[in-house]
Amino acid sequence: MSEVGIIAYGTSPFTKEDHKIESMLHKSTNDLFKKNPSINKNEIDAVLVSTNNNSKYLSPVLSEMAGIQPKIAHSIESLCNSGTNSIVSAFSYISSGLADMVLVTGAERYDSPGQILEWDNSRGEFKHPIFWASIFSKSYKREYGISDEQLAIVSVKNHKQAKENSNALSKKTYTVEDVMNSKKLTEDLRLLNCSRPCTGSASILLASKEVTDKYTDMPIWITGIGQKTTSAGFTKNTSLTSMESTAIAGQSALKMSNRNISEIDVAEVHDAFSVCEPMILESLGFTNPGEGINMSQKLHEENNFMINPRGGLIGSGHPLGATGISQTIEIVQQLQKTAENRQTNNPKTGLVHNMSAAATSSTVLVLEK
């Protein structure tokens, strides 16, 4: 299997602005080419678009706008983890030999139709994500004796880290009291416990080893991929205090990269809501069950940006189709030591965790220098 490297990236700011999806796709793609003027667009074999937007034929549209005539052009949708699904598809095209260079661009508008899975009628009238997040929060707190104040620390930490990310939606820092006094959405969820849908885009260029060696002396390699889908419906989750799909995807990715979780130096994980971060840390094996919140709290107290350095979804915002790509770009920057004020201490191996629909599916990537 051919090695696959990441050779370039581009991004837009994440905002609440009203822009056409086509314009957003072009924005981060253009940023990528402006930052990397030596890239020959004629060498791009495939253009993959990650979005939940209902507009049609977006990959050929983006290709035309960006001046690319690829062999392969299509969209990929898988709700919130569309972005890493697209990266996995790009990896597969390259490692199979069907392509040598693939552009992946993800974009979303603040009013994305991907926020609610209409099909999931088992949720009855409670289809908005705040309801599954409330059930996870209640169950997690009950199982491990965790307080709302403890969960609020995730939001405090990730907003603090987002302040060092100029593209993040959040520009403010908050205290535990601020989180506890923010708007009460349900008995178990406050507004500041939630990531917010927004408008944004992110692009990444992947290539075979031969092409990677030609374009960069700082390549980042995708050495592990794990994916798992357990269901589509939230109520099929067998556990409400852990994430089965995340655990399986994480084990697969680490096995493929021949790494242990203790070797991961920095990670972006899918903190759609505060409770998700400790659940993910535990499901990936960073900590024992019930101890994830202690890890988040310790990192916050030590001002250690190891988990969600760009601010996670809570701080950065959550433009669904762009999120997994933006997470991956952050780990690339961390490994290349170009993350400026967010830079962690000499990381060599990083991990990306991206999931959909209450962790009914997960994707995990391992990235290395």
Among 79, 198, 240, 276, binds other proteins (CB under 8 A): 240
Output the six-digit token pair for 259.
Answer: 């790494």
Query: Rounded to the nearest whole angstrom, what is the least distance from the CB of residue 290 to other proteins in the complex?
Result: 17
- Of 186 and 343, which has the nearer Cβ to other proteins? 186
CA distances from 323 to 22, 51, 202, 256 (A): 17, 10, 8, 23
Span from 137-145, 208-216, 274-282, 285-293 in contact with other proteins (CB under 8 A): 137-145
Which of 52, 59, 112, 137 touches other proteins (CB under 8 A)? Answer: 137
SS3 track for the chain: CCCEEEEEEEECCCECCCCCHHHHHHHHHHHHHHHCCCCCHHHCCEEEEECCCCCCCHHHHHHHHHCCCCCEEEEECECECHHHHHHHHHHHHHHHCCCCEEEEEEEECCCCHHHCCCCCHHHCCCCCHHHHHHHHHHHHHHHHCCCHHHHHHHHHHHHHHHCCCCCCCCCCCCCHHHHHHCCEEECCEEHHHECCECEEEEEEEEEEHHHHHHHCCCCEEEEEEEEEECCCCHHHCCCCCCCHHHHHHHHHHHHHHCCCHHHCCEEECCCCECCHHHHHHHHHCCCCCCCHHHHHHHHHHCCCCCECCCCHHHHHCECHHHHHHHHHHHHHHHHHCCCHHHCCCCCCEEEEEEEECCCCEEEEEEEEC
235 makes contact with other proteins (CB under 8 A):
yes
Closer CB to other proteins, 201 or 241, in the complex: 241
> Least distance (Å) from other proteins to the CB of residue 21?
25
Rule CB under 8 A: say whether 175 interacts with other proteins.
no
Q: Interacting stretch for other proteins, rule CB under 8 A, among 47-55, 73-81, 131-139, 208-216?
A: 131-139
Instruction: Work out whether 121 is an interface residue with other proteins (CB under 8 A).
Output: yes
Sites for other proteins among residues 57-76 (CB under 8 A): none
Residue 131 in contact with other proteins, rule: CB under 8 A = yes
Interface stretch with other proteins, choices 97-105, 127-135, 222-230, 291-299 (CB under 8 A):
127-135
Examine residue 310 and tell whether it contacts other proteins (CB under 8 A): no
Q: If binding is defined by CB under 8 A, does position 289 make contact with other proteins? A: no
Stretch that binds other proteins, among 71-79, 94-102, 120-128, 265-273 (CB under 8 A): 120-128
Residue 16 CB, shortest distance to other proteins, in Å, is 25
User: For residues 103 and 135, which CB has a smaller minimum distance to other proteins in the complex?
Assistant: 135
Residue 179 vs 329, nearer CB to other proteins: 179
Question: Per rule CB under 8 A, is residue 134 in the interface with other proteins?
Answer: yes
Sole binder of other proteins in the list 3, 30, 65, 126 (CB under 8 A): 126
* 302 lines the binding site for other proteins (CB under 8 A): no
Half-sphere exposure of 214 (CA within 13 A, CB side): 12
Residue 42 exposed, middle or buried by CB count within 10 Å (0-12, 13-18, 19+): exposed
Of residues 186-205, those binding other proteins (CB under 8 A): 186-189
Strands 101-108 and 46-50, by their bridges, are parallel
Is 272 an interacting residue with respect to other proteins (CB under 8 A)?
no
Q: Of 123, 190, 196, 228, which one interacts with other proteins (CB under 8 A)?
A: 123
> Which of 19, 26, 27, 127 is close enough to bind other proteins by CB under 8 A?
127
Interface contacts to other proteins, rule CB under 8 A? 118, 121-127, 131, 134-135, 137-139, 142, 185-189, 233-236, 240
